Copies of this chain bind each other. A is one copy, B any other.
């Protein structure tokens, strides 16, 4: 198995950074204003859309974008019609299709599929949605709609509601909102919250803090009047000086998501958080933009469609132009230069912590050991480079002395980064030939 050491492409919101986003929004706005300027910019280019999960809107949105730029499209819209049904691995598929096309858009049911595919081919890969993890072009659509409304994101408060556990769009958007310094209110359905580790990473990476905020409407939605709020530590606000939980008096945007039944999510009758026409009269939502990645189920009744705050069909409508901008950013840097995306660390093949514990991680389906990357300075938390699954290690080995130490011992502290070999337990260390060093 030959895998490239880098993960280039657009795999998750982690690739986004403020300079890129600011320039990107500006460019999309120009494209919207002058659609014909780039209409043959990708003439002669072949874009592959490989969709191993049901989808209409995302695939057609990418394909319309490609055609609007004069590119050709080859598409595999149904995994059952494909070599996958003959048992082909994702890595082989990506290598082969990468040989046919100039860019590949991948949708896949497993976490981290886009990242792994990008290691199989030098052809750029764009994540069209993989597992519970990433959907960065949807996030760019969501952000662009807000940018078009607001101009900038400073001081904004955005709530994300629904199936945070399984919904990649909510997770992907939340990370990107933190990139932009936005306050995020979390309104998960009962049993549909995301895992603590993901939130911890947002807090650590962006110097955010977690507090609580309340509003009577929150109880209607989640059964709990109080909601978790993620916000930049620097944000000055009166609630800092009070014991009680402050009221959230305004939402600038509310991002709804449907229950992800295709990923096994379930909700009791009436228990899934949704919006009603009546709630739209509540002052909390007076100037609140209503977003939804669509398709929707009962959480968003069609009565709201004609409300000027409802922007979800606008989201769908700008899907192609936002994706045109992504294609141009990746394939026509000569005419369309943008600040760089943040490269995604590929993980170290030297750190051997075995199989990824996430059963939906693409590495397990492909029979690969996960490449692990360390998070933070404590050297305790490691992430699977594909699916961001976390492991916490307790022991640190030194490749130079061949000794293993408790992680928080002085000896462990003195191991240089390039010599660090983490272990989950002493047993594993000893099996790997390390001696106990105290």
Contact with B along A259-277 (1 / 0, CB 8 A): 0011000000000000000
Contact in complex: B55, A295 (CB < 8 Å): no
- Looking at chain A's contact residues, the main secondary structure is helix
Which of A169-177, A316-324, A328-336 lies at the interface with chain B?
A: A316-324
Q: Contacting A320 at CB < 8 Å: which of B87, B100, B320? A: B100
Contact in complex: B1, A87 (CB < 8 Å): no
Cβ of A82 < 8 Å from any Cβ of B? yes
State A320–B96 Cα separation when bound (angstroms): 11
Given the complex, which residues of B lie within 8 Å of A261, measured CB to CB? 86
Report which residue of A100, A294, A303, A306 has the largest number of chain B beta carbons within 10 angstroms of its beta carbon: A100
Q: Name the CB-closest residue of B to A305.
A: B2
Given the complex, which residues of B lie within 8 Å of A57, measured CB to CB? 83, 96-97
Contact in complex: A56, B76 (CB < 8 Å): yes
Cβ of A60 < 8 Å from any Cβ of B? yes
State A93–B81 Cα separation when bound (angstroms): 20
A residues 373-417 with Cβ under 8 Å of B? none
Contact in complex: B55, A99 (CB < 8 Å): no
Given the complex, which residues of B lie within 8 Å of A297, measured CB to CB? 86-87
A residues 167-215 with Cβ under 8 Å of B? none
A residues 70-100 with Cβ under 8 Å of B? 72-74, 76-78, 80-89, 91-93, 95-97, 99-100
Min CB distance, A59 to chain B, in Å? 8
23 inter-chain pairs at a CB distance below 8 angstroms, sorted by A residue, are: A36-B44, A44-B68, A46-B67, A48-B60, A54-B86, A56-B81, A56-B82, A56-B96, A60-B100, A67-B73, A73-B74, A76-B77, A77-B77, A83-B294, A83-B295, A86-B261, A86-B295, A86-B297, A93-B295, A95-B316, A99-B313, A99-B320, A100-B319
